Amino acid sequence: MHRTAAVMTAAAVSLAACFGGDPAADPVAAGACETTTPGRAGDPLLGRTIEALPVGIHEAALAVSGTAFLCATAVVVAPDGDADLLAVAARLAAGVGGPLLIGAFDAEEGAESDSLLEAELERLAPQRIYGFGFDRVPGAPRWARLVELPADPATAATEVNSILETTAVVDLPGGGGVPALVALAGAIRSGAGVALAPAVPADRAAPVPAVSVGPGDTGAVWVVDAGRPDLGFLAAVAAAASGGKMVVVDGADLRRVPSVSAALRQSGREPTAVYTMGEVTADADWQLDVLLRGSQVPGGGFLMVPGKRIVALYGNPLTSSLGPLGDQGPDEAVERIRRISAAYGADGMQVIPGFEIITTMASAGPGDDGNYSVRMGFDVISPWIEAARRHDVYVLLDLQPGRTDFLTQAQHYQEFLLHPHVGLALDPEWRLKPGEVHLEQIGSVRAAEVNQVVHWLADLVRDNALPQKVLLIHQFDPIMLPDRELIELRPELATVIQMDGHGTLELKMGSWNRLTAGDGARFWWGWKNFYKEDRPTPTPEDVLRLSPVTVFVSYQ
């Protein structure tokens, strides 16, 4: 890690702030650093900053120390390579209110000292240095007293508990993984000590459990990838000592661990300085907005895939001829789709009842605008969206655009798409070219037009801190999406291709196999059952046997 001139200047200012005079003065004479203060906690007037910290444990420890501590009365130094010892050392560091640093030197063999660690120790100006397995720390300030601790984790834990005078002990699973970080967080919050325990078997460990440390009063937040719990030890210490917040996330997508949202919202202050640690997505900034301000989707969480399956009634509220949704009012439709969807969770997927509402309807005549498409009024759609909100039902607004384009029609209903439980469906069968009319040919749409919708809808999600939305695209014939491989995917959207052909199960399966072949692995998949046109209507068991797995099923 290379320190910039600005950071080095901040170090000198920090010393002056801690000791009220010349940084070169003896701090024992000048008075100890009695508080820890975030060094770069961000200014709320300037908005939120986000910074990726180094991924190497040695460099990361120095960076975390620099973000959280202006100075420190006590510093803990542990060697790299022993995850259990690192966890024990983190408990001590949190207890004494100082940073956890990593010694990249071997004192016994007389290896060269670590110049970066020396610089950080000089900046922090501690009175005590707790060294695990070190009988000396090269470069330690002349006034600092070294407290030597054993390198054996179990023995070290006993001595740490004695130093902290703890009366309770938390078992610290071996291996230094996420279970150990969970235990460490609990020990820090409760003031308990730690004792080494057997490692948690991989098949019994939660994928990414809720882990957070610190009140979050300063605006500084350390966002740690669950794949690097060792970095979490460093951040937990910083959060506990400085009043910031450490949270553990799935680094690929922060929205995958919805419990992080509660931890962040319980903070004393909204994050103004965010430090990511490990392999954390470049989308962390806007995903944090979702966790901080977004509403959850039906069934909970901020993602629609994977793990959820929507089972929906299809149709138009004004008529029963286009699907079962129009057979009854919104509240009765909720009860009907709940009964239908009950059998679709047999494979362990979470089932979400849904409505797919034909919002713009293909028409036989051109209409006043010549588009061969009739837009439903807001007064027609609103009662359904409100009923869905009350009953935790997901809604898709289905567009049959005729001679206009999908984006124009989607933008007309932006007000509805700002709801977290409303997504969008595009039906290329009813997208006409100039001179075409409905039912004389199968409609189609190019990827370029679909991508206009993709980017507009994804930006709507991002800009308004919305949870992930479903973008459903109907297809029963390859000509409907002739360049489907060019459709762009955005993490703000769950893009689903729905095979909506009808006929015998054999015919439908033939269409399914053709459509899911090739680039089918890029998309999520849906299926449609027809009450009248299918012979017979496939059962839930038939649908659950499909491969790829379906995340959307509708009834027409």
Query: 512 vs 137, which has greater pLDDT?
Result: 512
Determine the pLDDT at residue 27. 37
Per-residue pLDDT band at 113 (split at 50, 70, 90): low
Determine the pLDDT at residue 35. 45
Answer yes or no: are the C-beta atoms of 548 and 522 closer than 8 Å: no
pLDDT at 30 over 50: no
**Domain 308-555 class?**
alpha beta
Determine the pLDDT at residue 369. 83
pLDDT at 1 over 70: no
Determine the pLDDT at residue 15. 33
Determine the pLDDT at residue 237. 97
Determine the pLDDT at residue 230. 95
> Lowest-confidence range among 336-345, 351-360, 500-509?
500-509
Mean pLDDT value across the chain: 89
Determine the pLDDT at residue 99. 97
Determine the pLDDT at residue 2. 31
Determine the pLDDT at residue 137. 82
Per-residue pLDDT band at 37 (split at 50, 70, 90): very low
Q: What are the helix (H) ranges across 191-267?
A: 229-242, 259-265
- State how far the alpha carbon of 141 is from the alpha carbons of 66, 69, 138, 313, in Å: 18, 17, 9, 72
Mean pLDDT of 310-330: 96
Mean pLDDT of 250-269: 94
Cα separation, 515 vs 528, in Å, equals: 14
Write the pLDDT tens digit of every residue in 195-251. 999 988 877 767 778 889 999 999 999 999 999 999 999 999 999 999 999 999 999
Query: 519 vs 299, which has greater pLDDT?
Result: 299
Cα–Cα–Cα angle for 144, 149, 154, nearest 5°? 155
pLDDT at 300 over 60: yes
The pTM score is 0.88
Write the pLDDT tens digit of every residue in 415-443. 999 999 999 999 999 998 887 888 888 98
pLDDT at 556 over 60: yes
Domain with CATH 3.20.20 in the chain: 308-555
Determine the pLDDT at residue 191. 95
Write the pLDDT tens digit of every residue in 316-325. 999 999 999 9
Looking at the chain, the whole-number percentage of residues with pLDDT higher than 90 is: 76
Per-residue pLDDT band at 46 (split at 50, 70, 90): low
Per-residue pLDDT band at 25 (split at 50, 70, 90): very low
Cα separation, 140 vs 121, in Å, equals: 6
Answer yes or no: are the C-beta atoms of 375 and 386 closer than 8 Å: no
Q: Is 310 helix (H, G, I), strand (E, B) or coil?
A: strand
| CA nearest to 96, candidates 152, 153, 33, 53 | 33
Which DSSP symbol is given to 478?
A: G
Q: What are the helix (H) ranges across 373-480?
A: 378-391, 406-412, 414-417, 447-463
Tokens 């002739």: give the residue: 482
- Within 13 Å, how many C-alpha atoms sit on residue 310's CB side? 33
Burial of 518 (0-12, 13-18, 19+ CB in 10 A): exposed
> Lowest-confidence range among 204-213, 216-225, 450-459, 505-514?
204-213
Answer yes or no: are the C-beta atoms of 332 and 325 closer than 8 Å: no
Per-residue pLDDT band at 138 (split at 50, 70, 90): confident
